[in-house]
């Protein structure tokens, strides 16, 4: 069966031919829809330059966790659906001819949640950048720490921050790109620690979600709270970049930081 040739925009409601949504962006209202890890690579990386690192790492089920289904089954289903071992891809690549370590969350794998393998891959990405004397470009999109791995998941926050600090000591650039949504333990660890922090338009970025905060403090939050525009206004992100301009923006920043 052929896929539906039409797509309904979640921003303006327009129904358009699916191919009009270049890299997931609505041509009518500029709403940025989610795209998968393969589309992100096609958007940002020079063709044929991506060489994966640490792609064989696979998590175990240390707690034999069961919610409405066993964790092992949930992992197997996500692996079959995405073709990935876990919720992050990482490797050596080039962006506009510039060597980088490229690391990106795959939100389609369990909401981009960070377990022990995701944390290990990210920590190793910083280590690869140091070994190669290369900058790192890291694209975050995550629901946060993975509850099925308990404290082992939370430990990844400290581990990834420690690895990021080693990169800082080596005086190598780190560009952090926060997509929709970047939340929880990922937002509370390395995502905000870039030398330059970029964000996509209207991305939800923060630790706890707005509804959780409102229920906790019993107050109504300001309009647009935790959206990238609000964070830019309050100095938490450095720049909001349209997806179609992101590759050029990253390349320009890398050239400036490499001088």
pLDDT in tens, 98-112: 999 999 999 999 999
pLDDT digits (tens, 9 = 90+) for 171-213: 999 999 999 999 999 999 999 999 999 999 999 999 988 888 9
Strand partners, 174: 136
- Domain co-membership, 72 together with 15: no
3-class state of residue 126 by DSSP: helix
* Number of domains observed in the structure of the chain: 2
CB atoms within 10 A of CB 72: 15
97-122 b/e (C-beta count within 10 Å ≥ 16 → b): ebebbbbbbbbbbbbbbbbbbbbbbb
- Domain co-membership, 42 together with 128: yes
How does the average pLDDT of the chain come out, rounded?
95
- Domain co-membership, 28 together with 150: no
Which domain covers residue 144, as residue numbers? 36-257
- Domain co-membership, 17 together with 44: no
- Domain co-membership, 159 together with 106: yes
- Domain co-membership, 4 together with 123: no
Give burial (CB, 10 Å; 0-12/13-18/19+) of 96. middle
- Domain co-membership, 94 together with 16: no
Taking 80 as the threshold, does the pLDDT of residue 2 lie above it?
no
- Domain co-membership, 42 together with 150: yes
Taking 90 as the threshold, does the pLDDT of residue 32 lie above it?
yes
Strands of the chain (E only): list them: 6-8, 15-17, 51-52, 88-95, 98-105, 136-142, 174-183, 196-199, 205-206, 239-240
pLDDT digits (tens, 9 = 90+) for 70-104: 999 999 999 999 999 999 999 999 999 999 999 99
């Amino acid at each position: 069966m052929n896929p539906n040739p039409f797509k309904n925009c979640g921003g303006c409601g327009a129904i358009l031919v699916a191919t009009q949504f270049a890299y997931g962006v609505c041509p009518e209202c500029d709403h940025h829809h989610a795209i998968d890890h393969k589309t992100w690579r096609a958007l940002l990386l020079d063709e044929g330059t991506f060489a994966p690192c640490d792609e064989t790492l696979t998590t175990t089920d240390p707690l034999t966790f069961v919610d409405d289904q066993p964790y092992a089954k949930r992992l197997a289903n996500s692996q079959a659906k995405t073709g990935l071992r876990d919720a992050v891809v990482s490797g050596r690549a080039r962006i506009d001819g510039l060597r980088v370590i490229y690391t990106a969350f795959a939100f389609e794998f369990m909401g981009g949640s960070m377990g022990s393998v995701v944390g290990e891959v990210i920590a190793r990405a910083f280590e690869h950048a140091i070994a190669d004397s290369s900058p790192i470009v890291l694209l975050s999109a995550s629901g946060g720490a993975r509850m099925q791995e308990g404290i082992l998941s939370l430990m990844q926050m400290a581990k990834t921050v420690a690895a990021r600090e080693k990169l800082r000591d080596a005086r190598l650039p780190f560009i952090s790109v926060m997509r929709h949504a970047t939340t929880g333990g990922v937002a509370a660890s390395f995502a905000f620690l870039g030398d330059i922090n970029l964000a996509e338009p209207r991305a939800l970025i923060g630790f706890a979600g707005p509804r959780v905060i409102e229920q906790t403090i019993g107050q109504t939050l300001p309009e647009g709270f935790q959206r990238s525009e609000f964070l830019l206004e309050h100095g938490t992100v450095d720049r909001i970049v349209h997806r179609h301009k992101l590759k050029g923006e990253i390349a320009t920043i890398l050239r400036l930081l490499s001088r």
